[in-house]
Amino acid sequence: MKILLIEDEPELARSIDSFFSKEHVLCEAVQTFEEAFEKVNLYQYDCIVVDITLPDGSGLDIIRQLKEIRSEAGIIIISAKNSMDDKITGLEIGADDYLTKPFHLPELNARVKSIIRRRQFNGDKIIQFDQIRIVPETGEVSVNHKPLVLTRKEYELLVFFIANNNRLLTKEAIAEHLWGDEMDQADSFDFIYTHIKNLRKKIQDKGGQDFIQTVYGMGYKFSGQ
């Protein structure tokens, strides 16, 4: 998998790169509009993560160029400007998703994976993790071929966990993924605990193993044995 990261802040680019390297994703990072423009015209990427405000141009123009050359890469905008306008324009001209800085890296990871999955027209769009099988198009989940009935939040939680398997997810990152950033309430954390407890129980009821580890004081980690 190959990602082009267009981000003018080198430290942020390095962090994202470093995060993706664990996912066995090849992440190419460029810092200017010019470099990015050259890259998108020369190479093929699975996903392009683009910052809108670049020192020498607008990320929106790169998206327009990608559409012009009929690139099939998924596009995620990352922008510090929490601007509705940019978001709408970006999505209108063909971006797949929009993420506001500062974001949690697992969130970006989950979104990149979701986009790449949706773009695999030929391959299967099924998420398979150990005994768990998810069909995102229909929302069906099964463990050991036994159907699993999950609430909407439990489903979202599970997909988020699998996208970030073997990674520590903080309660804050989970809360933001499930409810967006206006849910900055201490209550939402025990709420997450309830959801995780239920999810764990449902999987185990179907004979699945306990994939969710609690990392004391920090969060949760989803991993196969």
Partner 1 sequence: MRLLSKTTLNYFIFSGLTFVCGAFLFYHLLHQIFYKQIDENLREEKILIEETINHADTIPDFRSVFGHEILVTIMDKPLPSRMVIRDSVMVDSTRENPVRYRYLNAWNTSEKKKGYSIYIFKSLDETDSVITEIFIAFTFLFLALLVVLILVNYGVSRKVWIPFYKTIEKLREYDFRQQFSLGLSASKIREFSLLNQTLMVMAEKIRQDYLNLKEFNENAAHELQTPLAILKAKLDLLIEGEYLREEELILIRAMYDATLRASKLSQGLLLISKIDNNQFPTGEELDLALLIRQAQEHFQELMLHKEILCTQDLPVTFSYTMNRTLAEILINNLLSNAIKHNIPGGWIRISLNRSALVISNSGHVLSKDPMQLFGRFSKGEKSSESVGLGLSIVQKIASLYGMRCEYTYHEKTHTITIFF
Task: Determine how β-strand 26-30 pairs with β-strand 2-6.
Answer: parallel
**Residue 182 interacts with partner 1 (CB under 8 A)?**
yes
129 lies in the binding site for partner 1 (CB under 8 A): no
Three-class SS of residue 25? coil
Task: Please give the single-letter amino acid code of residue 156.
Answer: E
**Quick check: bond before 147 cis, omega within 30?**
no
Q: Is 172 in the site for partner 1 (CB under 8 A)?
A: yes
Smallest gap from residue 184 Cβ to partner 1 (A) = 6
218 is a site residue for partner 1 (CB under 8 A): yes
Cα atoms found within 13 Å of the Cα of residue 202, Cβ hemisphere only:
19
Beta carbon nearer to partner 1, 101 or 146? 101
Q: Enter the DSSP assignment of 55.
A: T
Judged by CB under 8 A, does residue 168 bind partner 1? yes
Scanning residues 3 to 22, which ones bind partner 1 (CB under 8 A)?
A: 9, 11-12, 15-16, 18-19, 22
Q: Choose which of 183, 204, 205, 207 interacts with partner 1 (CB under 8 A).
A: 183
Judged by beta carbon, residue 137 or residue 187, the one nearer partner 1 is 187
Binding-site size for partner 1 (CB under 8 A) equals 41
Q: Identify the DSSP state of 96.
A: S
Tell me the pairing of strands 127-129 and 97-100: unpaired
CB of 190 to partner 1, least distance (A): 8
Burial of 92 (0-12, 13-18, 19+ CB in 10 A): exposed
Pick from 153, 165, 198, 200: which binds partner 1 (CB under 8 A)? 153
Binding of residue 116 to partner 1 (CB under 8 A): no
Is 103 near partner 1 (CB under 8 A)?
Answer: yes
* 25 vs 138: CA distance, rounded Å: 27
108, amino acid identity: L
- 209 contacts partner 1 (rule: CB under 8 A): no
Contact in structure between 205 and 194 (CB atoms under 8 Å): no
The residues of the shown chain that bind partner 1, judged by CB under 8 A, are 9, 11-12, 15-16, 18-19, 22, 80, 82, 84-85, 101-106, 153, 167-168, 170, 172-173, 179-188, 190-191, 194, 216-219
